[in-house]
Amino acid sequence: MSTTKVNNRIFLSSPHMSEQGYEEQYVKEAFETNWVAPVGENINGFERELANMIDSKAAVALSSGTAAIHLALKAAGVKEGDVVFCPTLTFSATANPIIYQNATPVFIDSNYETWNMSPEALEEAFVKYPEVQAVIVVHLYGLSAEMDKIMEICNKHNVAVIEDAAESLGSYYKGQQTGTIGDYGIFSFNGNKIITTSGGGMLVSNKEERIEKARFWATQSRDQAQHYQHSELGFNYRMSNIVAGVGRGQLKVLEKRVEKKKYIFEYYKRELEGLEGVEFMPINDWDEPNYWLSALILNGQIRPIDVIQALEKENIESRPIWKPMHLQPFFEKYDFLGVGLSEKLFDNGMCLPSDTKMTDEDLEKVVGIIKRLWFK
Ligand SMILES: *Cc1c(COP(=O)(O)O)cnc(C)c1O
């Protein structure tokens, strides 16, 4: 089952269930006890097992990573009119929940060393918006942001840090799991992430009482009473017990998935690094990434679109780097601080197929198609 390909297509990153069938076993147990809903043993197990694995005190399983960011913002006290700093180079799901809270995003540029939030641009933002309520940091493509500098700046201003670790489960910054360094961390189990539950998310924190509060909001904010009573706005954001079963099984193979992602990255790097204008994503000394996607920039004559089209012709999926939020029609009215490095990364960057089901033959094929563009 696990090696079957849909239409022989090579994907960027697609679901990969365990060879051992762990996920099915957990889901089967839920079926056999009719415990498909409401909350049940798989949810409790998934929360406990993930929290243990990453060394966090508390976790709440939710319907998506986006929901987790939303509740993290609420837990950090973000409300109408507040300013939230957010990296510009990210997926829109990082920024959308700021708008759900009727708050105002201010977008922060990337730096060249990490591709993630620039500490220099962040300092500038604190000068311009000293009233900021929270900072969201993203660990893009599994590369960790420069957390020591970012935490130092945020601690100096006593502002909550939310780590969007949707793409970086299994990535370590100086030995610490990304998502556990700031006040709150979020993970996503969407279909293309390093492990998936088909869809889902997790909010983690060492502030146990804040996680309990998030659990309460996520379950429609039901007060403790015989009747249905609500003194706060509620959300239907909890994960189902079936979905959590898939997650428990996937956690068992996370390490193997990281190993394969690293193998893929190193294969590409070995084969393509010498090509004119090719520069791979930065792996810093402090960083032990999960290599979720192998990304690179092309500074020469061959453009990302040339590579993407050549691969697509052979039924192989690849894509450009995230388009910065401050260039998005929906978000362009918000402020942006930086020198425009994120725009350069967007103009020149792309992600190669990084699916953990790829064989050496597949990798050879991708590399062959790319090299032909340089040597024709
Ligand atoms: C996938 C992703 C999310 C959103 O997660 P969902 O589970 O799809 O809601 C948020 N931020 C980043 C950076 C992501 O890549």
Tens of pLDDT, residues 305-363: 999 999 999 999 999 999 999 999 999 999 999 999 999 999 999 999 999 999 999 99
- Decide whether any atom of ligand 1 lies within 6 Å of the 116 Cβ: no
DSSP reduced 3-state for 238:
strand
Question: CB of 203 closer than 6 A to ligand 1?
Answer: no
E strand or H helix that includes residue 287:
strand 287-288
Please, which residues bridge with residue 316 across strands? 10
Strands 294-298 and 336-337, sheet pairing? unpaired
Q: What is the bridge-based pairing of β-strands 160-164 and 134-138? A: parallel
| pLDDT tens, position by position, 214-273 | 999 999 999 888 899 999 999 999 999 999 999 999 999 999 999 999 999 999 999 999
Distance from Cα 142 to the centre of ligand 1, integer Å = 12
Tokens 């996503």, located at residue:
188
Residue 376: pLDDT band (50, 70, 90) is: confident
Residues constituting the chain? 376
- pLDDT at 6 (0 to 100): 66
Looking up tokens 């997926």, which residue turns up?
91
d(CA 354, ligand 1 centre) in Å? 17
DSSP reduced 3-state for 67: helix
Q: Which residues contact 55 (CB under 8 A, 6 or more apart)?
A: 176, 177, 180
Mean pLDDT of the chain: 96
Give the separation between CA 85 and CA 105, rounded to whole angstroms. Answer: 6
Domain with CATH 3.40.640.10 in the chain: 7-251
Q: In this structure, what DSSP letter does residue 106 have?
A: E
| C-alpha 130 – ligand 1 centre gap (Å) | 28
**What pLDDT does 362 receive?**
97
Classify domain 7-251 by CATH architecture.
3-Layer(aba) Sandwich (3.40)
Measured in Å, residue 149 CA sits from the centre of ligand 1 at 24
Tokens for 241, please give them.
């017990």
Class of residue 328 by CB neighbours under 10 A (exposed 0-12, middle 13-18, buried 19+):
middle
* Statement: residue 2 has pLDDT above 70: no
Report the pLDDT value the prediction gives residue 1, as an integer from 0 to 100. Answer: 44
Contact between residue 320 and residue 12 where contact means Cβ atoms under 8 Å apart: no
Which of 220, 222, 292 shows the shortest CA–CA distance to 254? Answer: 292
The ligand 1 atom at the shortest distance from the C-alpha of residue 200 is: 7
* pTM (whole model) above 0.75: yes
Single-letter amino acid code for the residue at 314? E
Å from CA of 168 to ligand 1 middle? 10
Q: Is 75 in the pocket of ligand 1 (CB under 6 A)?
A: no
Distances (CA, A) of 97 to 151, 194, 197, 324: 22, 23, 22, 16
Residue to mutate (ligand 1; options 70, 90, 94; most atoms within 8 A of CB): 94
Q: What is the pLDDT of residue 248?
A: 97
Question: Residue of the nearest CA to atom 5 in ligand 1?
Answer: 65
CATH 3.90.1150.10 residue window(s) in the chain: 254-375
| Joined tokens for residue 66 | 């986006």
- Would residue 200 be called left, alpha or beta, if left means φ above 0 and alpha means ψ between -120 and 50 degrees? left
- For ligand 1, atom 8: residue with the closest CA: 190
Q: Ligand 1: does its nearest atom lie under 6 Å from the Cβ of 188? A: yes
65 C-beta closer than 6 A to ligand 1: yes
Verify whether ligand 1 is closer than 6 Å to residue 201 (CB atom). yes
Domain 254-375 classification at class level: alpha beta
The answer to whether 247 and 61 are in contact (CB under 8 A) is yes
Return the ligand 1 atom nearest residue 93 CA: 10
Q: Is the pLDDT of residue 3 over 80?
A: no
**Which one of 69, 190, 290, 322 would you pick to mutate in the ligand 1 pocket, going by the greatest count of ligand atoms within 8 A of its CB?**
190
CA dist 71 and 186 (Å) reads: 10
| Helices marked H in the chain | 22-32, 41-54, 65-75, 92-100, 119-128, 147-156, 208-218, 241-251, 254-272, 304-313, 341-348, 360-374
